[in-house]
Structure 1
Amino acid sequence: MLEVIVQNGEEAIHAENFGANRLELVTAISEGGLTPSYGTIKHVLKNVSIPVQIMIRPHSYHFNYTSSDLEIIIEDIRQLAKLGGLRIVFGAVTADYKINTAILDQIIQAAPNIDITFHRAFDEVEDQVNAYYTLTQYKQHVKRILTSGGKENCQAGQNNLESLVNLANQLQGPEIMPGGGLTPSNLEPIHKQVQAGQYHFGRSLRIKGDFKHSFDPLNFKKVVNVLNSSYKQERN
């Protein structure tokens, strides 16, 4: 499974055509990704057939959200539901860097059919194993966790990612999705160790590795080929 970051409808269409299996739609990527506009969400959902996870993030200051932040988050999710999209990318932690279960409870109460990717706020928790156990209690809604294993990137977090994937398999909880610093050249060795079932790509699929530019067809093809080849080998 290949998930790719997109910023608008044109990019979404291209990513699907190039072989992406799922999209993460964001705006303000220079801020780490914020909630896209209503119009952008509507345009993307109308023009692609693959799943689209919508970033729900009101600001880039931190992931310890206030009650005012939560009001905005809930309203954004309600507006998203009106468009027929209940797949979100979201993460929240407490002041002492644990999973904020109170906020997760309120989001799920507001949208009981929601599909959540818990994003790299997971890399800020004090203990990823304990945090994973917490999120396993929400596995009906938290379907996957985007993480670099608590390190700066997936290469540095390789050992932790392997342990998290093994834990996920053992507990049958949310799937671990490595993301952060993945490239066409390091994907294969990382996958050989980590053995995740899905991977998240951003700037390395862009021309000059920059979100200002469109996708690099060659790099996109390399990643798709690595994942397809690994899948065939594992099936055999």
Structure 2
Amino acid sequence: MTVLLEVCVDSVDGLQAAIAGGADRIELCSALDLGGLTPVPGLIAAAARAPVPVYAMIRPHAASFVWTPADAAAMLADIDAMRTAGLAGVVLGAALPDGALDVALLQELRARSQGLGATLHRVFDLVPDPARALEAAISLGFERILTSGGAARAEAGLAALGALARQAAGRIGIMPGSGVSAGNVASIVQAVGASEIHASCRAAFTCDDSKGVELGFFPARQGKTSANAVRLLKDALAAIG
């Protein structure tokens, strides 16, 4: 069984490392420490030259998944920018105040992104009724749902992920993500029957610019995409077959 590996990145260095490590698809973001926001133009331009498909996160800020009309307008413009740049797809999500999917806004975003691939992001992990949200995602024409099964890490959400996969029955992809590594990917894939996996493959390090940390310019602990971590994960996926 071949399992596709999607790696999320938020810099040109990270993009290059993911490709060098053998990533099959890129989720392009800025600010992965905030869960991933819409990437900046220079990073988009670099990703447009990538030899693998690139899906861009469409998330204008990290305050909420409940978007204002101004946020929605920005997201529509960002979708247009990704199409103009030649990227393969977009990563979308929107919620109502009660946590349910904002189907009306998602319909608008999906209409604008016709012709591009589309992933429903981990807004899904906050919905009060995952079974209902899954059916909505199918009706909206998403290719896949990125989800941890509602847990902090996919490894802890295997029961929910398996239930989603059974309900989906091949109508939409269930792509486990969050905390996926070479050490646990086999158990996740086997429990869910996943055909694609999402991971950051980031190596943690401590920022040595103490003044910059003190002034709030840099986080004390940071992550950087590791080509070796991508390779190890690819090797673990290859061994599953």
TM-score by length of 2: 0.87
1:93-172 superposed matches below 5 A: 93-139=95-141, 142-169=142-169, 172=170
Higher relative contact order (CA 8 A, sep 6+): 2
Quick one: distance in 2 between partners of 1:41 and 1:137?
Answer: 29
Name 1:52's counterpart in structure 2. Answer: 54
Letter in 2 for 1:53: Y
Partner of residue 224, structure 2: 213
Q: Which moved more, 1:5-14 or 1:129-138?
A: 5-14
Report what 1:229 is aligned to: 239
Code of the aligned partner of 1:94: L
Which range moves more in the overlay, 182-191 or 143-152?
182-191
CA distance, structure 1, for counterparts of residue 82 and residue 75 of structure 2: 11
- 8 A contact 2:38–2:59 mirrored in 1: yes
Number of the residue aligned with 1:26? 29
Partner of 2:13: 10
Partners of 1:73 and 1:67 lie apart in 2 by 10
Alpha carbons 1:207, 1:216 under 8 Å: kept: no
TM-score, normalised to structure 1, is 0.89
d(CA) in 2 for partners of 1:101, 1:226: 37
| Whole-Å separation in 1 of the counterparts to 2:51 and 2:227 | 21
Unaligned runs of 5+ in 1: none
> What amino acid maps onto 1:181 in structure 2?
G
Q: 1:156 to 1:32 in 2, by over 3 A?
A: same
- The alpha-carbon distance between structure 1 residues 51 and 163, as it changes in their structure 2 partners (threshold 3 A), is same
Asked whether the equivalents of residues 56 and 76 of structure 1 are also in contact (C-alpha less than 8 Å), the reply is yes
Which ranges in structure 2 are unaligned for 5 or more consecutive residues? 206-220
Work out the percentage of aligned pairs sharing the same amino acid.
Answer: 31
Residue 183 of structure 1 aligns with which residue? 181
Measured on the aligned residues, the alpha-carbon RMSD in Å equals 1.6
Instruction: Supply the distance in 2 between the matched residues of 1:186 and 1:211 (Cα, whole angstroms).
Output: 22
1:103-146, Cα deviation, whole Å (9 max, x unpaired) = 1221133232132111000000001111001111122xx11100
* Number of residue equivalences: 223
SS at match of 1:59: coil
Is this contact kept in 2: 1:177–1:199, CA < 8 A? yes
Q: Secondary structure at the match of 1:149?
A: coil
How far residue 86 of structure 1 moved from its aligned partner, in angstroms, is 4.8
